Amino acid sequence: MSTTETEQAHLHTLHLLSVDQLNPDELFTIFEETDRMREALHTSGQARELAGRHLGKSVCTLFYEPSTRTRLSFERAAVATGATVISTENAREFSSAAKGETIEDTVRVLGEYCFSALVLRHHETGAAIRAAAVSNIPIINAGDGKGEHPTQAILDAYTIYERFGRLDNLNITLGGDLKRGRTARSLVKLLAQFEGNRFVFVSRPELAMEPDITDRLESTGSAYANTTSKKRGFGNADVIYWTRDQKERAEDLAIPDESPDPAYVIEKTDLTDIPPTAIIMHPLPRVGEIAVEVDEDPRAVYFKQAGNGLYTRAALLDRVLRASE
């Protein structure tokens, strides 16, 4: 199916490939829609009504990398709004990618199958942009290599807004593998749009935040600092956003003797260094970089944060499905 220029322009606004497509007003509108989704999903009458909204539509979730939260929250959201879901959870092995098919050809074919949206996770940075360039249906980037994870950043920002009632003038400390972690990259890009935010990056030097992000902070006038000391990162923090070692993107980096490196693990004993008003976030999965004992602390919000993924993704999917009518 070929698309006209007008249809292409409309599609362009529906793809969600990067947080750079959002401005603060649009983000706050998504938050309002997210609030409505949260209420609807917890109110039986509204949930029933919502379940009839997109009957007859179908969403494809095409995942070339493993996922628990992103895929299942999108699929749950699709079902909650009445759409059906067709999924491939290990497309690298079980789709024709294993025979050498390109993402472009796969997406062109899926465009012939009457889907209303395609949620795509891929191991290559830039794959979502390449897919969108040939797609006649909206693409939602569910994480592309070391590039971006825009829907994670939206749910992260929603979680921060829920706690502080603002997204500006915050001290935000991000720690762990900042070089290869796409969630941290997207969140920093998104929060750099707001005035007065100050970032502290805590990592081993070889896993420091990449220059494209720090250049962005310099261009937006956002203050930032790099440190190897978690204690330094914790001191003034409103938000502590911790991440795991992205071992699946090992590249030419030396494998550390111990992973997670104990210097970058949040232990129960670290809690005294963290302000009482701060929140501790993590995109999950965690693999030891936050001790399980920290979960009981009221500042630890990472499971609630993951739960917010359902509501934000329901809001995002509803937008896309409404626009496809």
Is 121 tagged catalytic?
yes
Q: Which is nearer to ligand CP, 125 or 226 (CB)?
A: 125
Is 69 tagged catalytic?
yes
Min separation Cβ 142 and ligand CP, Å? 7
- Neighbour-count burial of 321, counting CB atoms closer than 10 A to its CB (0-12 exposed, 13-18 middle, 19+ buried): buried
**DSSP-derived pairing of the beta strands 139-144 and 171-175:** unpaired
Q: Under a CB-based contact definition with an 8 Å cutoff, are residues 282 and 307 in contact?
A: no
CA angle 304, 309, 311 (to 5 degrees): 100
Select from 283, 305, 316, 317 the one that contacts ligand CP (CB under 6 A).
283
Determine which one of 15, 71, 146, 149 is catalytic: 149
Residue 258's region, left for phi above 0, alpha for psi from -120 to 50, else beta, is: beta
Is 230 tagged catalytic?
no
Min separation Cβ 301 and ligand CP, Å? 14
Residue 82's region, left for phi above 0, alpha for psi from -120 to 50, else beta, is: left
Determine which one of 61, 70, 106, 159 is catalytic: 70
Determine which one of 15, 69, 122, 163 is catalytic: 69
Is 304 tagged catalytic?
no
Q: Which is nearer to ligand CP, 138 or 283 (CB)?
A: 283
Residue partners of 84: CB distance under 8 A and separation at least 6: 57, 58, 59, 78
Q: Which is nearer to ligand CP, 69 or 230 (CB)?
A: 69
* Binding letters toward ligand CP, positions 55-74, x by CB under 6 A: ------------xxxx----
**Rounded CA separation 157/31 (Å):** 9
Q: Which is nearer to ligand CP, 173 or 308 (CB)?
A: 308
Q: Under a CB-based contact definition with an 8 Å cutoff, are residues 136 and 115 in contact?
A: no
Using rule CB under 6 A, residue 286 touches ligand CP: no
Using rule CB under 6 A, residue 284 touches ligand CP: yes
Phi/psi of residue 109, nearest 5 degrees? -70, -45
Min separation Cβ 84 and ligand CP, Å? 21
Q: Which is nearer to ligand CP, 50 or 142 (CB)?
A: 142
Segment 125 to 184, residues that bind ligand CP, using CB under 6 A: 143, 152
Determine which one of 15, 57, 71, 121 is catalytic: 121
**Tokens 């995109």 sit at which residue?**
283
Binding part of the chain for ligand CP, among 35-43, 239-247, 281-289, 297-305 by CB under 6 A, reads 281-289
Using rule CB under 6 A, residue 187 touches ligand CP: no
- Neighbour-count burial of 102, counting CB atoms closer than 10 A to its CB (0-12 exposed, 13-18 middle, 19+ buried): middle
Min separation Cβ 147 and ligand CP, Å? 13
**Rounded CA separation 307/77 (Å):** 12
| Partners of 60 in the β-ladder | 86, 118
Q: Which is nearer to ligand CP, 203 or 246 (CB)?
A: 246
Which residues bind to ligand CP, rule: CB under 6 A?
A: 67-70, 143, 152, 283-285
Catalytic residues: 69-70, 99, 121, 149
